[in-house]
Amino acid sequence: MEYEFLRDVTGVVKVRMSMDHEAVGHWFNEEVKENLALLDEVEAAAQALKGSERQWQRVGHEYTLWMDDEEIIIRANQLSFDDDGLEEGMSYYDEESLSFCGVEDFFAVVKAYRLFLQGK
- Is position 86 within any domain? no
The span from the CA of 48 to the CA of 52, in Å, is 8
In a domain, residue 90? The reply is: no
In a domain, 13, yes or no: yes
Whether residue 85 is contained in a domain is answered as: no
Residue 54: the pLDDT is: 96
Number of domains observed in the structure of the chain: 1
**Residue 117 pLDDT more than 90?**
yes
Q: What's the domain range around 59?
A: 3-78+97-118
pTM of the model: 0.84
Asked if residue 84 is part of any domain, the answer here is no
Buried residues in 14-24 as b, exposed as e (16+ CB within 10 A): ebebeeebbbb
Residue 49 lies in a domain: yes
Q: Over the stretch 58-86, which tens digit does the pLDDT of each residue have?
A: 999 999 999 999 999 999 998 754 455 54
